[in-house]
Amino acid sequence: MREFDFLAPKTLNAALRAIEAGGRNYKLLAGGTNLIADLRDGNVTPRLVVDVGGISTLKYIKEEKGTIKIGSLVTIADLLNSSVIKKRAPVLWEAAYNFAGPMVRNRATVGGNLADASPAADSAIPLLALKAQVKLQSLKEQRTVGLDKFFTGYRKTVIKPGEVLTEVTFPVPGHDTKHGYYKLGRRNAMAISVASVAMMLGMNGQACADACIALGAVAPIPLRAKKAEALLVGKAVDEGLARKCGEVAAASAKPIDDIRASAEYRRLMCEVLVRRILSQTLALEGEVSNLPREGD
């Protein structure tokens, strides 16, 4: 591991001043579940590491005027233990429940998980489905970016040098909103996603008034399947439409082969998961719950 300077400021302003003075070759440390491994393996070699984990003002979960606000230092365990998240955003709670194991959940932060920008980032998929936005703060300005515009490439985001991700917000889902989530991994615990899907369906009686479908681990970035979403809006969803939606979602995927799964399998699972979650969420007839495995 290459040597670096280390700072642990206790306020956001102090952290912003530190990274402003440090130039471009710095890294922010929150939970450290990814950064520590990257430092150890030499994948990143910053001159400065700024530990923001002690900034207490960035750790909160609250509901205000129809909006859920989550500080960037909230851990995955905090999400899991939050009655607000479990009641108001169960799709995010389910993702937290399926996130790694207890030790990692106690350290990993929402902001860090998003900023790391892995295509398999477990918090990104439900937050995309919830139409979340992120707040980015620098010494000069604060700006808000939709999460669907936040990821720009493999492990790349719109965060500029000198900016810190401070907050994630999303509107409280309506009472007529239905949700679905599924993470497919090679084992039940501590698994990185082979493919994951989250969806939010705003219903008007039997018709779908609004749809958000998010896909993970099937492209270089977590993404919204917007063409598939458009198929549903204004329509009563039946088994045929659910199948077509799965096909369109799979067409938007750009998976790769790796040690966890083949690109072909990922694309197939994208189609299957979207169709199946739609069918189960809306209680359509003719759907079964068993999912095929790699190699079937």
Kindly list the domain boundaries of the chain, sorted by start residue: 5-51, 56-171, 177-281
pLDDT for 188 equals 59
What is residue 296's predicted lDDT score, i.e. its pLDDT?
41
Contact 211, 131 (CB under 8 A): no
Distance from C-alpha of 148 to C-alpha of 160, rounded to nearest angstrom: 17
pLDDT given at position 57 = 98
Closest CA to 212 of 220, 96, 222, 46: 222
Backbone angles phi, psi at 121, to 5 degrees: -55, 115
Contact assessment for residue 71 and residue 62, using Cβ atoms and an 8 Å cutoff = no
Give the C-alpha separation, 157 to 83, whole Å.
30
CATH match of 5-51 with 3.30.43: yes
Question: What is 56-171's CATH number?
Answer: 3.30.465.10
CB 209 within 8 A of CB 197: no
Among candidate residues 176, 80, 160, the one with its CA nearest the CA of residue 126: 80
pLDDT score, position 295: 41
Please report the pLDDT score of residue 286 as a whole number.
60
What is the full per-residue pLDDT of the chain (296 aa) written as tens digits?
A: 789 999 999 999 999 999 999 888 999 999 999 999 999 999 999 999 999 999 999 999 999 999 999 999 999 999 999 999 999 999 999 999 999 999 999 999 999 999 999 999 999 999 999 999 999 999 999 999 999 999 999 999 999 999 999 999 999 999 999 999 999 987 655 678 999 999 999 999 999 999 999 999 999 999 999 999 999 999 999 999 999 999 999 999 999 999 889 999 999 999 999 999 999 999 996 655 555 444 44
CATH code for 177-281? 3.30.390.50
What is the reported pTM? 0.94
